[in-house]
């Protein structure tokens, strides 16, 4: 087999094999069962709870959960703003990087707070080490932990019983960080260190090249940040070019591990669902639907990137390595295409290649991954998005078997449908309205220095920017002059709305359902753990979520593809 393909196949299977025991472990953590880390981390957590005065055993209803979640986010925002706007004079700033301007700080704070990591600065020149560690890396941990805690609340609410007591938010949150994110990040960072990723607080190093020039090479606490940015579907790299940078992602091995880390926790969360609810078949179906969708994007993307650019082929240029524009030679076309899909189906957004240079259809698959945003998806929040699609699928499928719809023993009625509909509606609304606004402004002012590539590709760039924001992805098609007030503000609004509403919605639905009377299954009940139901969810995702973007995609990547075919 082609070694490039063998490489990505290995990466994927490694991920799934690691995700199964991890899922079991996560389920134990949320169920409060004994795990092997109890003796080490138990005292640390207890100390933390004692200091903060949190009664972590006190059960909360869904409204209290949301209250806790949103309140703590406001505090983090304040902290982030403070650090970013004062990092210039604060310690740990060997390169003398300046404090951020208020609008840039605002943008950065919001984008890290919502687990998006849309970076309008470059790490080398825009951040102090204190900012990287105490602000950005901190947010990368806690926002991932927030998403996982929210998911744990929904898991709890899906149990077969009637209650409004859904565990304690702070307990879920702290344990997500200490028991799951921290140990995994630690292991990954150590391996990255071995592979050559720096981990220090020293300033730029001066190196004399073979040509005799002197170059300044940025360093810093890189390994730690790369680990959590990959594992927590954050995606905000230490350096500007993210995992394409040789110090962030030095080798093919580090590439495999970083790529596996992107989808590891999102997949493990699905298995955790199965173990936690003791509904393994349901977890397999969810995993199956997500995997089929994922493969539908991966297979053609890898194929297209390995085929090379047809425009270059027409010019008689041989491309037996595939389309290598904007890609790192140490990774190759296949592995870059795989990463591109992995990072967009999850809301990660780290990159190891230039997405602007992907062939048109691969670009479209990257876009579709974010438009659906539920194939594996972000840590915790990916399942929350999928949950909304499941609710809609259950509603229609339930009717089709002649019963008023019920999901895991709870009747789905008008109130839940209202919330699910709003959440399903929100994503296309934010993406299409944003892109429409940008197109409108651009048509009125064609002199704006936004687009380096007008025509279809320029449209794809704008579409990508809003899609990435709405999916809390954070990757960029780039090629778009996005550091302007228009883009900062409009994407900022999209970021906030698209982070919190899709968390509030599923928790509200799950909370309301948990409080309803539990109806045991009968022969007439729709089974949600069958392949047929999986097909139903798949159809809902593709017809409802993906097809809404068909006209927009037609004017972007599809027009580009068909015109230059």
Partner 1 sequence: MKTQPSSLFQATLVKEALRSSFIKLNPVTLFRNPVMFTVALGTVVMLVVSLYSLTRHDQGTFGYNFLVFWVLFFTLLFANFAEAIAEARGKAQADSLRKTREETPAKLVQTSDEIQLVSSAQLKKGDVFICEAGDTIPSDGEIIEGLATIDESAITGESAPVIREAGGDKSSVTGGTKVLSDKIKVIVTTQPGESFLDKMIALVEGASRQKSPNEIALTILLASFTLIFVIVCVSLKPFADYAHTPITIAAFISLFVCLIPTTIGGLLSAIGIAGMDRALRANVITKSGKAVETAGDIDVLLLDKTGTITIGNRKATNFYPTQGVAPERFVQAMLLSSLADETPEGKSIIELAQSQGLSIPKLPVGVEWIKFTAETRSSGVNMPNGLRVRKGAVDAMRQMSVKAGFVFPEDMTQYATNIASNGGTPLIVTENEVVLGIIELQDIIKVGIQERFERLRKMGVKTVMVTGDNPLTAKYIAHKAGVDDFIAEAKPEDKMNYIKAEQANGKLVAMMGDGTNDAPALAQADVGVAMNSGTAAAKEAGNMVDLDNDPTKLIEIVEIGKQLLMTRGTLTTFSIANDVAKYFAIVPALFISSIPGLQGLNIMRLHSPESAILSAVIFNALIIPALIPLALKGVAYKPIGASALLRRNLLVYGLGGILIPFIGIKLLDIVVGMFF
Q: Which chain residues interact with partner 1 by CB under 8 A?
A: 392, 395-404, 409, 412-414, 416-418, 421-422, 424-425, 428-429, 432-433, 435-437, 439-440, 442-443, 456, 459, 517-520, 522-527, 530, 532-533, 535-536, 539, 543-544, 547-548, 550-552, 554-555, 558-559, 562-565
Q: Which is nearer to partner 1, 135 or 394 (CB)?
A: 394
Q: Which is nearer to partner 1, 194 or 562 (CB)?
A: 562
CB of 466 to partner 1, least distance (A): 11
Q: Which is nearer to partner 1, 328 or 560 (CB)?
A: 560
CA distance linking residue 417 with residue 102, whole number of Å: 40
Q: Which is nearer to partner 1, 126 or 398 (CB)?
A: 398
Burial class of residue 524 in the structure, from the number of CB atoms within 10 Å of its CB (0-12 exposed, 13-18 middle, 19+ buried) = exposed
Q: Which is nearer to partner 1, 190 or 433 (CB)?
A: 433
CB of 463 to partner 1, least distance (A): 9
CB of 521 to partner 1, least distance (A): 8
Return phi, psi of residue 208, to 5°. -100, 120
CB of 30 to partner 1, least distance (A): 25
Q: Which is nearer to partner 1, 485 or 524 (CB)?
A: 524
Does residue 343 contact residue 351 with C-beta atoms inside 8 Å? yes
CB of 281 to partner 1, least distance (A): 12
Burial class of residue 88 in the structure, from the number of CB atoms within 10 Å of its CB (0-12 exposed, 13-18 middle, 19+ buried) = middle
Q: Which is nearer to partner 1, 37 or 519 (CB)?
A: 519
Does residue 472 contact residue 498 with C-beta atoms inside 8 Å? yes
CB of 436 to partner 1, least distance (A): 4
SS (H, E, C) 426-482: HHHHHHHHHHHHHHHHHHHCCCCCCECCCHHHHHHHHHHHHHHHHCCCCCCCCCECC
CA distance linking residue 253 with residue 527, whole number of Å: 42
SS3 category, 99: coil
Q: Which is nearer to partner 1, 275 or 538 (CB)?
A: 538
Q: Which is nearer to partner 1, 24 or 516 (CB)?
A: 516
Q: Which is nearer to partner 1, 43 or 551 (CB)?
A: 551
Does residue 169 contact residue 137 with C-beta atoms inside 8 Å? no
Q: Which is nearer to partner 1, 23 or 398 (CB)?
A: 398
130: closest CA among 97, 91, 79, 102? Answer: 91
Does residue 266 contact residue 346 with C-beta atoms inside 8 Å? yes
CB of 159 to partner 1, least distance (A): 14
CB of 481 to partner 1, least distance (A): 16
CB of 23 to partner 1, least distance (A): 25
CA distances from 318 to 116, 255, 321 (A): 38, 26, 9
Does residue 247 contact residue 219 with C-beta atoms inside 8 Å? yes
Does residue 56 contact residue 42 with C-beta atoms inside 8 Å? no
CB of 356 to partner 1, least distance (A): 18
373: closest CA among 348, 351, 355? Answer: 348
CA distance linking residue 324 with residue 337, whole number of Å: 11
DSSP states along 16-76: HHHHHHHHHHHHHHHHT---TTHHHHHHHHHHHHHHHT--TTS---HHHHHHHHHHHHHHH
């Amino acid at each position: 087999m082609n070694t490039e393909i063998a490489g990505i196949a290995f990466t994927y299977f490694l991920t799934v094999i690691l995700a199964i025991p991890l899922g079991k472990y996560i389920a134990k953590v949320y169920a409060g069962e004994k795990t092997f880390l109890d003796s080490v981390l138990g005292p640390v957590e207890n100390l933390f709870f004692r200091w903060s005065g949190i009664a972590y055993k006190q059960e909360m209803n869904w409204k209290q959960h949301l209250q806790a979640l949103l309140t703590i986010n406001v505090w983090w925002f304040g902290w982030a703003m403070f650090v970013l706007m004062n990092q210039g004079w604060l310690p740990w700033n060997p390169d003398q990087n300046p404090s951020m301007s208020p609008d840039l700080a605002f943008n950065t704070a919001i984008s890290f707070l919502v687990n998006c990591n849309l970076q309008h600065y470059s790490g080398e020149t825009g951040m102090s080490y204190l900012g990287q560690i105490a602000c950005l890396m901190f947010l990368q941990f806690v926002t991932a932990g927030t998403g996982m805690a929210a998911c744990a609340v929904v898991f709890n609410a899906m149990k077969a019983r009637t209650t409004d007591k859904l565990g304690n938010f702070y307990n879920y949150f702290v344990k997500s960080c200490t028991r799951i994110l921290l140990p995994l990040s630690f292991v990954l960072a150590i391996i990255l260190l071995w592979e050559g990723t720096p981990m220090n607080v020293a300033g730029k190093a001066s190196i004399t090249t073979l040509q005799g020039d002197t170059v300044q090479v940025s360093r810093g606490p890189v390994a730690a940040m790369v680990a959590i940015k990959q594992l927590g579907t954050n995606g905000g790299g230490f350096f500007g070019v993210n995992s394409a940078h040789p110090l962030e992602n030095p080798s093919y091995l580090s590439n495999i591990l970083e790529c596996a880390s992107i989808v590891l926790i999102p997949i493990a969360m699905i298995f955790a669902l199965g173990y936690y609810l003791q509904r393994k078949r349901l977890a397999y179906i969810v995993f199956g639907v997500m995997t089929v969708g994922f493969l539908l994007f991966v297979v053609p993307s890898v194929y297209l990137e390995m085929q090379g650019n047809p425009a270059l082929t027409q010019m008689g240029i041989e491309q037996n390595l595939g389309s290598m524009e904007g890609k790192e030679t140490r990774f190759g076309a296949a592995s870059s295409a795989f990463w591109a899909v992995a990072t967009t189906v999850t809301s990660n957004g780290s990159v190891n290649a230039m997405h602007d240079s992907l062939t048109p259809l691969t670009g479209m698959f990257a876009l579709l991954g974010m438009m659906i945003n539920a194939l594996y998806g972000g840590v915790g929040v990916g399942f929350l998005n999928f949950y909304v699609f499941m609710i809609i699928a259950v509603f229609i499928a339930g009717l089709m078997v002649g019963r008023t719809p019920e999901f895991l023993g709870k009747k789905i009625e008008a109130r839940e449908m209202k919330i699910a509909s709003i959440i399903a509606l929100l994503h296309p609304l934010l993406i299409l309205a944003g892109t429409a606004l940008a197109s409108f402004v651009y048509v009125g002012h064609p002199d704006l220095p936004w687009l380096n590539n007008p025509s279809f590709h320029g449209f794809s760039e704008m579409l990508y920017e809003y899609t990435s924001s709405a999916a809390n992805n954070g990757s960029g098609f780039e090629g778009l002059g996005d550091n302007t007030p228009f883009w900062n503000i409009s994407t900022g609004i999209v970021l906030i709305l698209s982070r919190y509403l899709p968390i509030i919605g599923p928790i509200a639905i799950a909370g309301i359902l948990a409080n309803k009377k539990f109806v045991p299954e009968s022969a007439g009940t729709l089974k949600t753990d069958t392949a047929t139901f999986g097909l139903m969810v798949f159809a809902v995702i593709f017809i409802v979520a993906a097809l809404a973007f068909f006209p927009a995609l037609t004017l972007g990547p599809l027009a580009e593809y068909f015109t230059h075919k």
